Structure 1
Amino acid sequence: MTDMEVELLAAALRRDSADLSLYARVLSANLADSLPPGAVRVKRRRSVVERVAGREGAVAEVDVVLGEQRLSLRTDRGGVSGEICHEVRGIVLSRREVELDEWIGALARALAEAAASNARAREAVERFLT
């Protein structure tokens, strides 16, 4: 994937980030549907009303594991925090907190790298670009 294609993917990932709760819900659903099982973990925050109504609740955290990189996005009280970890066999070797824009760029690069060798990751990239 060229640098221009990675930038297009990052722009597509950024497209709906103004409404953070909607962004986290759509992003987590698209990634979970497109990437291999276990690559995406979603934690939800459910109020009592949501539990009683049988609703899923709001996305509290999205973890995307691609290769040796784990990208975590957390939403809390209208804010968002991102974290990029270098992880080998479940052991975190480095951890860095980042702003949403940098997190999206790192996700785009990780998806592009995964798309080079994995058909499901390639489908995820195509889904975001169309």
Structure 2
Amino acid sequence: MTDPDVEQLAAALRRDSADLNLYARVLADTLADSLPPGAVRVERGRSLADRLAGRPGTVTGLDIALGDRRLALRTDGGRVTGEIRHEVRGVVLSRRTVALDEWIHALARSLADAAASDARAREAVERFLT
């Protein structure tokens, strides 16, 4: 993908980021459905009301593995923390805490890179762009 395509994807990923709970849920559901099994790990916090009603709870964290890059997003009481890690065979070579906007751009770049060679990643990109 060219850089304008990455920017378009980043804009699509940013679309619902004003409401962090909605954003995390949409991102988790879309990526988990589109990327290969095991590429997305979703952490949820379930209240007693969620458990009694059979609801899955609110998304409190995402961990997305795309190639040698791992992107983690954590939400806590309206605050969001992004982390970008470079991992090779399970060994973390670098780790950076970043703002949401930088995290979204890194996710867009990683999805674009993965889409060049993986049909499921290409499907994820297309779902965000439509």
Q: Could you state the TM-score of these two structures normalised by the residue count of structure 1?
A: 0.98
Cα separation, 1, equivalents of 2:48 and 2:94: 37
Q: What do the CA deviations read for 1:67-124 (whole angstroms, capped 9, x no partner)?
A: 0000000000011000000011111111100000000000000000000000000010
Residue equivalent to 1:108: 108
Aligned runs of 1:1-130 on 2, under 5 Å?
Answer: 1-130=1-130
Q: What do the CA deviations read for 1:15-40 (whole angstroms, capped 9, x no partner)?
A: 11000000000000000000000000
- After the TM superposition, list the runs of 4 or more consecutive aligned residues in structure 1 that deviate by more than 3 angstroms: none
What is the aligned residue count? 130
Cα separation, 2, equivalents of 1:35 and 1:59: 18
Cα separation, 2, equivalents of 1:12 and 1:45: 26
Query: What amino acid maps onto 1:7 in structure 2?
Result: E
SS in 1 for 2:11: helix
Cα separation, 2, equivalents of 1:89 and 1:52: 40
Cα separation, 2, equivalents of 1:23 and 1:60: 11
- The alignment-based identity, stated in percent, is 74
Cα separation, 2, equivalents of 1:35 and 1:55: 23
Q: What do the CA deviations read for 1:42-70 (whole angstroms, capped 9, x no partner)?
A: 00001111112111000010010000000
Cα separation, 2, equivalents of 1:49 and 1:127: 32
Q: Which sections of structure 1, spanning at least 5 residues, go unmatched?
A: none
Deviation at 1:11, TM superposition (A): 0.2
| RMSD, aligned α-carbons | 0.5
